[in-house]
Structure 1
Amino acid sequence: MARIPRALTLLAGFVGVTTAQTLWPLQTYKSSSIETPYLNVTKMGQTEPGYLFISPHDILRGNGYPTIYSDDGQLVWQGQEGNYSALQPQKLNGESVIVYWEGFVAEGFGFGHISILNSSYDEIHRVNVDCKAENFVTSYGSESFSSCIDIHESQLTDDGTILVTAVNVTQADLSSVGGPKDGWIQDGLVYEIDIKTNEILFRWSAYEHINELPMSNDIAPLGATGAGSGANQTDPWGYPHLNSISKYGDSYLVSSRYMCSLFFLAPNGTITWHLHGRTGGDFNLSLDTSFCYQHDARFESQSAERVTIGLHNNDNTEFTGSSSLTTGMVLELELQGSKQVTLKRRTWDAAEPVYAQSQGSYQPLGNGHILQDHGATPKIEEFDENGSIVMRARFGYDNTMQTYRAYRYPWVGQPSTKPDVVACSSSDGDKSTVYVSWNGATDVQSWKIHSGSKVKSSAVRNGFETVIVVDSLRKGDSLIVEAVGGVGDGTRSQSVTVGHGC
């Protein structure tokens, strides 16, 4: 796969920054080379159980990682450096897995693959959409990619399939929206793919349904920052910018950011209904039900008469600025009769409101709790059943750090690696300090330190890296650290030698 210049390997939708801005501090460790953003957590009430899954991208440092934190701010796992998006912990065949997109990012979309990892953090499936076989055109001319899955979705189904988006740079007549007749667009595609075989089971193109979804529905102006001018192949217009897909029965709920729309696709690809966040589309908007530039739209309930939909309502973009309050929303749609849209719930942090310009997620948890992530604004929030905020978590300064989505999910990690250990003697040689970590382990209870045939010390595990002071170890002594408790019980590190002043 050809490499794209680093200037293009940033997640879509960020606000431009300068290197003069302050860098968010990173947590470092003695036993590991990992450096990870501090997660500053404030709790005002009881949160739901589970770890926090994010893919923080550091705009100033130019790196990103798939990451798991506990909600006391401690790192649990960090994957390899790269461009990541659409990270979601999910279930596959009854087993918990991690699913994410990895690849190369243009402004607003990307070209890459989906990785599925097991509880040992080993890739068990890689899902691709063959660019050549699907006749994709990219915005990079001679540059080529082996897989053309877009950054925005990685949703598993109960049928062993995955839903993804893709962007095909396509020539189109833009005269109806004031553009050139021989213009270019970012045609949005939906794919359902068999995970084991990579067979495409369903394909849908927005441009191929232009009669049902005319370009006039698109809110993004030609030439707006992030939306593209449509003048040529390297600057295609962002019609329609799809950013989430879910499957219900044999039909699909699809979110279009730049159309400010949700539409429900029948199995043959026709549009059953269309909800436009500004005009209503097929529905009648009620007070406070308007939305735009939304993300992560999912059904919370569904019947033949009505559906409720939860979503993250940005209502801001790079070209509109940040004037609208970002909230979580739950809307009820009457599918028959009045076709009325009613607001059932809205969540936001009144003390520290957010005005996010891009990205974000909305996750219903147990007991009526909600987890919200604000994408380009590096803040995660949890609300209780009454709408009161019970947790704030920050992992960066605004416009310098971001994550496309965030989720809370139970997880038991059993790394296929061994614990990492560094041991250092004091300057006078009277004692040694042992540092131990195990990237990805979730339920180790304590650590034992073996030297020779004896257990020299033990200590309760304390966060990602546990620090243990041992009186009976000297410089040059060898030791092994053993995990106690959890699925990795009894796993031992490699033998290490105590060094001096390390």
Structure 2
Amino acid sequence: MRWLFSLTVAVGAQALFEQTFRSSSVVVQPFTILERSPLYDPHNTNLFLICPNGQAVAEPGAAIYKSNGELVWADSSFGNCYDFNLQEYNGEQFLTLWVGAGSAAVGQQMGFGTVMLMNSNYELVMNVSAVNPEGTDLHEFNIVKPENKTVLVTAFHTIPMDLSSIGGPVDGWYSNGVIQEIDIATGDVLFNWTTYDHIPLSESYNNISLTGQGFEANNSFDAVHINSIDKDREGNYIISARHSQAIYKIAANGTILWRLGGKMSDFTAIGNDTEFHFQHHARWRLDESELSLFDDGAAVFISTVNVIDEPVATGKYLKVDQEKMTVELTKRFFPSPNSNYALAEGSVEPYGDTVLVGYGWVPWVEAYSFDTQELLFSAVIGPNNASLWDGGIGNYRAYQTSTLEFTGHPTQPPNVSVTGGDVYVSWNGATHVSSYTLFTGNSATNVSKKVARVPKSGFETKISAKGSQNFIAVAALAANGTTLGKSAVYKLSDGTIA
């Protein structure tokens, strides 16, 4: 292994790049499209779910974008968030996201928070948390299919531990990785497993002499760093451990059945490129014959020590033969037009006949053909600015849905702003608006005269107020002309609500 020392780029003093709007208080990063195949999502129905974080993100929060870069919904009211996804629970779709304090990259800030479940009205329905003194860690909230009634979560608990075998103190401190399966309805813990009980310190690639961890309770030694959990149909668990660079299969009784990767791998490689470094988001695919994962190729320990083992981060599919105990690379997805390793985070998620790869610490979101591995779509969260790609802007995981599957129904009406004789309208979270109609009238109680109907153009649409009377209102229409919602009535003179 090659250890490299470098300070992460300080971008706090640089200009911030958030987008702002006249009609809404929403503040978001731009979603910059770099490459797009004409064959990819021709009707712009695909939706990307992301949670930008980093030193250059003044207002972190969740956001949904279309594949043309258009913002659909954003909310920064809950602050720091990770792992924004759309999942099914008990027969209903919910937006799920972790909220709290912490960072996915640095061991001692791995998160003390909870997970929110929101309905299609963007209303909080419930919170779900691990049973753990430090709360729920940000790395995983995976609702178990096909029952969709329980969830896999990660947590970390600081405990005293003898670290002298790896050059640390006898009376040291250890960051104990915890995985739990929880009944969502009751909050009962159905399975609880810890790294302290099962993974020896010798498997870790974290170097205590370099990171200085383990000497204080508030800087405990992060030996394993669990960042994903999956479950197979036989009831066994798959965990990804970044700091031991291994994937573990764990039986329902807690026994480790095998290791893939790391210092004690049980598998023999067939062909090249089966190895992975500081990986994230390991998931069973293709009837549990293959594992997908994001191969970061690098890692950041604490906030100032970087390890680079591979020059480029990639998404991978590995064929895992559990009878012959062999592993073989079947698919690999390379970034383009930019190329780099990722120091943390990342995801690989199939969607239809495509695969979406989120590059984590590097804020790229890219879609590939599953069959050919050809790049179909490439975007950057924020501007296409390499100086922001080392902690400036990142996104833990990227997920995808579409307006054909998810319909957002915000409970608030469309927002309107009147500026310089023009009307600006937006409706945060409405996924199926096709056009807006401007109405006017001389009385606040009778605003029914149609002034103009204009196509929706991005998150915020501009309409000329020419021909309007003293009061205005705006209606949002679907493609078939159905009215989806109507704004309040506004005074044209000063733009206040009548």
TM-score, with normalisation over the residues of structure 2? 0.87
The residue number in structure 2 matching 1:205 is 194
CA contact under 8 A between 1:223 and 1:237: conserved in structure 2? no
- Cα RMSD after superposing both structures: 2.2
Secondary structure of residue in 2 paired with 1:193: strand
Q: Which residue is 1:401 aligned to?
A: 393
Picking from 363, 373, 378, the partner of 1:387 is: 373
Shift of 1:486: 7.0
**Does the 8 Å CA contact 1:88/1:154 hold for their aligned counterparts?**
no
Query: 1:480·1:496 contact (CA, 8 Å) conserved in 2?
Result: yes
Give the match for residue 375 of structure 1: 360
| Counterpart selection for 2:412 from 417, 421, 428 | 417
Aligned residue in 2 for 1:326: 313
Secondary structure, aligned partner of 1:463 = coil
Q: CA 1:501/1:358 → structure 2, altered by over 3 Å: closer, same or farther?
A: same
In structure 2, how many angstroms separate the alpha carbons of the residues matched to 1:218 and 1:352? Answer: 31
Structure 1 unaligned runs (5+)?
A: 1-12, 139-147, 427-431
Equivalent of residue 364 in structure 1, options 340, 344, 350: 350
| Matched residue, 1:309 | 291
Cross-structure match for 1:445: 434
Shift of 1:322: 4.1
Aligned match of 1:5: none
Give SS of 1:37's match: coil
Is the 8 Å Cα contact of residues 295 and 359 (structure 1) preserved in structure 2? yes
Residue 382 (structure 1) shift: 1.2
Change in CA separation of 1:100 and 1:14 when aligned onto 2, cut-off 3 Å: farther
Q: Which sits farther off after the overlay, 43-52 or 400-409?
A: 43-52
User: Does 2:141 match 1:150?
Assistant: no
Contact 1:165–1:188, Cα closer than 8 Å, also in 2: yes
Structure 2: distance between partners of 1:14 and 1:340: 39
2:30 pairs with 27, 30, 38, which one? 38
> Is the Cα contact below 8 Å between 1:14 and 1:357 reproduced in 2?
no
> Runs (4+) of structure 1 moved beyond 4 Å?
none
Selected match of 2:456 from 446, 455, 461 = 461
Q: CA deviation at 1:462?
A: 1.4
Q: C-alpha separation between the residues in 2 aligned to 1:15 and 1:280?
A: 31
**For this pair of structures, how many residues does the alignment match?**
456
Alignment of 1:196 with 2:185, yes or no, is yes
**Cα shift readout 1:444-480 (whole Å, capped 9, x = no counterpart):** 1211222233122211211111111132125xx1112
Bigger mean CA offset, 316-325 vs 98-107: 316-325
Where do 5+ consecutive residues of structure 2 fail to align? Answer: 1-5, 383-387, 441-446
Over the matched positions of the two proteins, sequence identity in percent amounts to 30
Structure-1 residue corresponding to 2:242: 257
* Cα displacement (A) at 1:326: 0.4
In structure 1, the partner of 2:444 is none
Query: 1:347-358, aligned counterparts within 5 Å?
Result: 347-349=333-335, 351-358=337-344
Q: How far 1:263 moved relative to its partner?
A: 0.9
Structure 2 distance, partners of 1:197, 1:51, is: 32
**Counterpart code for 1:34:** V
Q: Write the distance in 1 (CA, Å) between the matches of 2:7 and 2:154.
A: 20
Aligned to 1:92: 89
Measure the CA separation in 1 of the matches of 2:401 and 2:337: 26
Q: Which residue of 2 aligns with 1:144?
A: none
- Preserved contact between residue 69 and residue 77 of structure 1 (Cα < 8 Å): yes
Candidates 333, 340, 355, aligned match of 2:326: 340
In 2, the alpha carbon distance for the partners of 1:66 and 1:366 equals 23
CA contact (8 A) 2:27 2:59 kept: no
Give me the whole-angstrom Cα distance separating, in 2, the residues matched to 1:326 and 1:69.
24
Distance 2:451 2:239 in 1: 59
Aligned partners of 2:209, 2:461: CA distance in 1, in Å? 53
Amino acid at match of 2:389: D
CA 1:373–1:15 in 2, change beyond 3 Å: closer, same or farther?
farther
Change over 3 Å in CA distance of 1:460–1:363 after alignment to 2: same
Aligned to 1:128: 129
The equivalent of 1:57 in structure 2 is 53
Distance in 1 of aligned mates of 2:337 and 2:52: 24
Once the two structures are TM-superposed, the CA of residue 42 in structure 1 deviates from its matched residue by 2.7
| Partner residue in 2 for 1:142 | none
TM-score normalised by structure 1 residue count: 0.86
Shift of 1:200: 1.5
Offset from partner CA, 1:391-438 (integer Å, 9 cap, x none): 1101233131111111111221111111101123x4xxxxx3111100
Deviation of the 1:356 alpha carbon: 1.0
> For 1:219, what is the secondary structure of its paired residue?
coil
Q: Retained in 2: the 8 A contact 1:434–1:467?
A: yes
Asked if 2 retains the 8 angstrom alpha-carbon contact of 1:448 and 1:455, the reply is yes
The verdict on how the C-alpha distance between 1:392 and 1:434 changes in structure 2, with shifts beyond 3 A counting, is same
Query: 1:283 is matched with which residue?
Result: 267
Q: For residue 289 of structure 1, what is the amino acid of its counterpart?
A: T
Q: How far apart, CA to CA, are the structure 1 residues paired with 2:159 and 2:11? A: 33
Question: Could you say what secondary structure the match of 1:491 adopts?
Answer: strand
